Structure 1
Amino acid sequence: MHNFINVANEDGSGYVISVVESEVTSKANAAKVAELWGAFSDYMEAAPKAVGFDVVANWSN
């Protein structure tokens, strides 16, 4: 994992964004990631659904 961002609103809605090495690496780790999210199941309405995109820009200040 290169970068991890967690954003949330006061109502608890939000997103987790992670920038990883590659789609292949991400898919290879899918079971472990699901297991980790399972540890937070008491605090979530539903497990997050992973969606992938290609990084076009990754800026920070």
Structure 2
Amino acid sequence: MSPAVQIKLAVLHDLPNEDGSPRGALVLPPTSAATARRPLLLLFPTVAAAAAEKGRMEGGRRG
């Protein structure tokens, strides 16, 4: 069994969406096959959307 990947939720206050609310993002660590070794940043229009996706992704690890 592989170790759990830590998914971080980020609030991007400096990158507001159309209505002025901050955007949300998920920060995923690079995979072992990644050559650049930089984290992957997934952007979402709202913090709520990012949190929902984080829960969905982490829900797949529970069982």
What is the TM-score with the length of structure 1 in the denominator? 0.31
Q: Which is bigger in relative contact order (C-alpha 8 A, separation at least 6)? A: 2
Q: Which has the higher strand share?
A: 2
